[in-house]
Structure 1
Amino acid sequence: MHIKKSRRVLIYFFLLILLGSINNISLYKINFNKVKNIKITGLDVSESKILSKKIKNLNLENFFSLNSDKINQIINSNNLVENYKIIKIYPSTLNVYIKKTDLVAKINLEGELYYIGSNGKLIDNNFLNDELPYIFGKPNIQDFLTFLKFLDNSKISYEEINSFYYFPSKRWDIKLKNNVVIKLSNTNIKKSLDLVYGFLNNSGFKNIKIIDARINDKIIING
């Protein structure tokens, strides 16, 4: 019995060595793929190249353990990005799908002209879009985007707007492309815009220059 038991132990021992050798060889042959291709969709060619180069500079050695925080940080550093999705394609490709932010207005800050994106970020003046309305004053960007939500829910077309005027009291004036100025209070904005729209489309008020809606439930018109 003792001899049989010893033989059994020897057999297990040799099997352990054999399996261990096979596993070591397999691990040696495994290729932990490095990211070789980065495809950016949604930005123009030059912007895509810059973003792709920044991601490659992370030295993405292991495709299966990418540092998503660092990649997210690089993508979010581009102010043109509204949102994005990253998809890993085996064996070594990274696809980045980007939705570009909408440019909604222009503003001058400390002598420099910027565009405001719908993502709330300031974007360098590289687009020369003269159709966008200009903002006079120094509003908080988020306050402006909140104001835009009221406009979007009103009947006044954004395409008709020439410029915005912001006041320290957090009140807005709007100048239309036909030179009509709309004065709004800092409360009841949606209701005031709807009242103003009624006068803008009334044929009896063709020569109006100023529509003053700063007083609740009242409209004052100056020709």
Structure 2
Amino acid sequence: MTDFVYSPGLLVYLAGAFYILGLVIIHQVVLRLLILSGTGVYLLYYFTVADTPLWEAIYVSFLIGMANIIGLTSLLARKSRFAIPRAHADIYGDFPPLPPGDFRALMKLAKRYAVEADKQVTTEGEAGDKLYFVISGSTLVRKSDQAFVLAPKLFLGEVAFLVGAPSSASTWLEEGAEVLEWNFSDLRRKCARSTRFKLALEAAISADLAHKVAHSMGKDSVRVDHIPKPMIEALPSVRQG
């Protein structure tokens, strides 16, 4: 039986295989693990290919490996449920498209409070400067000559935030409703710094928009003429009708 003869050159092929597999893998965690494995094999090669280790190549490969480890740690932390802030853990399930890390970043910019009195938050045709998410309580919506009540777990002011256009409807929150509130300026600065955060937030808002379109103007829709004025006073009667 022929004895195996170690050849440092084989390490180059092995490291190259790890790198090639990593570059064809879409999954970010697997990709980084494969690249890290390739870097480890290259380090072994640089230690053994010559009588004296190739220190320059070792130092550079070591730094590349450390950078990869830092990125991998950040990626795992962003996906870990430990990233979910305890104060908002009760509503994380209402933001299914958001990874835990992006949810944490979003909550850092939010103000969470209960509405003390019926409150108008958007006006149809006017530009807004705040985004809301209704945690609990009903929302009265007026759009053109129609009005309807929406259940909680929805965004308000999202059209103005996404496209910079005037609000598409006027909305009121009932007394006691619990909401999250963000300033457009804070969110846009965060989106400008992090494309990943921007895409995650837009995905969450888009999912909400689709749900809202599917459920609005349904059985709870009534003519505006049938609602007493001012609109704020109509909220209880519409909700109970």
Q: TM above 0.5, one fold? A: no
TM-score range, shorter chain: under 0.3
Higher strand residue share: 1
Structure number with higher relative contact order (C-alpha < 8 Å, ≥ 6 residues apart): 2
TM normalised by structure 2 equals 0.25
Greater C-alpha radius of gyration: 1
